[in-house]
Amino acid sequence: MPEFDAIVVGAGPAGSTAARELAAGGARVLVVDRAEFPRYKACGGGIPLRTERMLPFPIDQVVEDSVSLLDVGWRGRMRFLRDSGEPFAHMVMRDRFDALLLEHAKRAGAEFRPGTVVRRASENGGVAIADDSGFRATAEYLVCADGAHSPVGKLIGLGHDIAECAAWEVELRGAAAQRDYRARALIEVGFNPWGYAWLFPKETLLSIGIVLPREQAGRMKRIVDAYVRRLGLEGAETAVAKGHKIRFRRGGERLATGRVLLAGDAAGLADEFTEEGISYAVHSGRIASRNVLRALDDGGLAGYERDIDREVMPELKAARVIGYMFYGMLRRAPRPWMFASARFPYLWDAFFAVQRGESSYAREVARVPVLPAMAERMLRPR
């Protein structure tokens, strides 16, 4: 008999959410992660308020700032400020945020084994994982929430051929980083064919980074260094500098077998407008737990991909349309587009409403029926 009902690989937002809800539903759950917790995670750390609404517990203790101001510029020029009137995102350090989610999973009854690098995974009337130390565990079902690289998912044959981009981030501290960026997120656009740089405020740090197409990864460090200098922050101490990738499922990529599923970044559940993935990770963790609990009664994970297609993919597809339109307009007519963005509130008011969970990308796209065709023309080829 398997030792567990479910094994979850990866204790990030998707994995810990799935583990918590599985354990709360009465399942025997093991969570494994290659790291010791808390651990640093390369990420801007912007958490849309809609994410908090999906969690049954407060996250106030790990919130370092709450952002209501969006400061947008094009290559250091044509800046404008949009005020949402109330916060639309929280800023967190991922080590503390992820540790909080994991703690709630353990409180629900999940067992946690850190420092476990899964080298072997198999599926045959159940699932089994093993590392090089001799550790081995078996379960009925396996949730792969092991990040954008998803090495365990690939061992099973899942997670290939998902589109991706590159990101680079630095965390700055010190006197030069203590300028008043509270409640303000800076966004810098003007990269071709798409991409943006950011500054997100934390309690004692500033997170500064960039996201670009994968083939431009070699430029990211130089661009971020120039951005830091332009902000007058070159005197700040660099606490961390690290790159990572972000993956995008565009539909049709296989996410589950009979006993194994991918969740969060492993499944490519990030949107192509903001490159944000934490809210989709939490959502997919909930969908994963629901399907595993159902499978423990009925057998099989056939409904998981269908639920992702119904609940998550409409948002990712709509965000992609918005991204096409936004970046396409920037490419073709940067000055008129920045002028219009600064003067007409619809785009940013819709963005704020989506981030707060008051609307959705799919709903906003549906309000402008010609947008999909227009967006595709704007950014072709991509």
Do 157 and 274 lie in a common domain? yes
* Domain edge (last residue) among 311, 333, 349: 311
User: Are 169 and 305 contained in the same domain?
Assistant: no
* 177 in any annotated domain: yes
* Same domain as 145, residue 171: no
Mean pLDDT of the chain: 93
What pLDDT does 347 receive?
86
C-alpha–C-alpha distance, residues 68 and 210, integer Å: 21
Residues 179 and 233 in one domain: yes
Apex 116 CA angle, 305 and 299, nearest 5: 30
Q: Domain for residue 58, yes or no? A: no
78 and 12 in a common domain: no
Instruction: List the domain range (segments joined by +) for residue 349.
Output: 321-378
Is residue 59 in some structural domain? Answer: no
Question: What CATH number does the domain containing 208 carry?
Answer: 3.30.9.10
Q: Tell me: do 106 and 85 sit in the same domain.
A: no
Question: Are 223 and 345 part of one and the same domain?
Answer: no
- How many C-beta atoms lie closer than 10 Å to residue 251's C-beta? 10
Q: With respect to residue 316, please indicate whether it lies within any of the assigned structural domains.
A: no
CA distance 349 to 332: 23
Angle at 170 between CA 188 and CA 18, to 5 degrees: 95
Question: pTM for the complete prediction?
Answer: 0.94
pLDDT for the residue 270: 97
Structure confidence by residue, pLDDT tens digits, 103-162? 999 999 999 999 999 999 999 889 999 999 999 999 999 999 999 999 999 999 999 889
For the segment 64-84, the average pLDDT, to the nearest whole number, is 95
CA distance 124 to 136: 15
Q: Are residues 168 and 218 in the same domain?
A: yes
Domain-embedded: residue 32: yes
211 and 356 housed in the same domain: no
Q: Please state the domain count of the chain.
A: 3
Q: 225 and 178 in one domain?
A: yes
- If asked whether residues 371 and 225 sit together in one domain, one would say no
Tens-digit pLDDT profile for residues 318-370: 999 999 889 988 998 999 999 998 988 888 999 999 999 999 999 998 887 76
Q: With bands split at pLDDT 50, 70 and 90, how would you rate the model's confidence at 382?
A: very low
Q: Is residue 33 part of a domain?
A: yes
